[in-house]
Homo-oligomer: A and B are copies of this chain.
Amino acid sequence: MRANRMKATWRAGGIAYGAWLCIPSSISAEAVAHQGFDYVCVDMQHGVIGYEAAVSMLQGISTSDATPIVRVPWNEFSIINRMLDAGAMGIIVPMVNSADEARAAVAPCRYFPQGARSYGATRATIWSGADYFGHANDEVACIVMCETQQAVEQIEGIVRVPGVDAVYVGPSDLSITLGLPPAPDNGGAYEDARLRIARACADAGVIAGMHANASLAAKHVAAGYRMVTVTSDIGALTGATGADLRAVRGAAVRPAPGT
């Protein structure tokens, strides 16, 4: 079976850097994947990406060395199982607010008896190799999101659910439920949460992950985060094309949408 570069990086004590995809195109996915990221995530929750586009994007990423992962739209058994069958090597599950919800996220990621994943990994077996079934429970990453006040309060229990490989922080939603404006980073209660999550992960031997950008990466690494998303397709696209136009027109900067 193909190795999971992201998990291998973690096992080697390294930091996995990733890119985030919201544009429903296998071509842009492939273009980003070949830049050298450790993982590339297809966002089916807030990206404009349905099942068929997601599969084509997994194929585009699969021509590179980056590990293809998927943020599913919801903590729902079926879509997690299907995206794994389609070749995702990791799943990010949004809005996991308790240990019970974390257990529900793990179930479709692991075959019996560690979980209840249904057998039939059609594309995963084609791409990863005929020995997929025997290694999938080890190689597939199950990553639960911590993005509400409630989740932070439960984090010490969540990280101890067997099968959880990593916790991934969503700064905007976490900020909102803490009464702060949505932003890539925040102070106050948000900063407390950020550190508490990192600590809980470290204590449990689980990876801490963060939805970030290039300028925030070093700060998160310093806090112990070892899965750091540093860019997104839609942000890069609107940011860079808009900047080119403003440079030519000499206009003032306006914020890039969608991130």
Q: How far is the CA of A60 from the CA of B133 in the complex (A)?
A: 21
Q: How far is the CA of A94 from the CA of B81 in the complex (A)?
A: 13
Number of copies of this protein chain within its complex = 6
Interface residue from B46, B50, B214 paired with A52 (Cβ < 8 Å)? B50
| B56 & A56 in contact (Cβ 8 Å cutoff) | yes
- Enumerate chain B residues within 8 angstroms of A37, measured Cβ to Cβ: 245
Q: Could you list some 16 contacts between A and B, CB below 8 A?
A: A22-B122, A23-B28, A24-B27, A30-B123, A31-B238, A35-B241, A36-B249, A46-B82, A48-B86, A119-B173, A120-B259, A122-B258, A125-B258, A132-B257, A214-B247, A230-B245
Residues of A within 8 A of B (CB): 17, 19, 22-28, 30-32, 34-37, 45-48, 50-53, 55-56, 59-60, 62-63, 73-74, 76-79, 81-82, 85-86, 94-95, 111-112, 118-123, 125-127, 130, 132-133, 147, 170, 172-173, 176-177, 182, 213-215, 217-218, 228, 230-245, 247-249, 251, 254-255, 257-259
The 10 closest A-B pairs by CB, nearest first: A46-B120, A50-B51, A236-B240, A231-B244, A74-B78, A214-B244, A125-B257, A25-B25, A119-B172, A240-B240
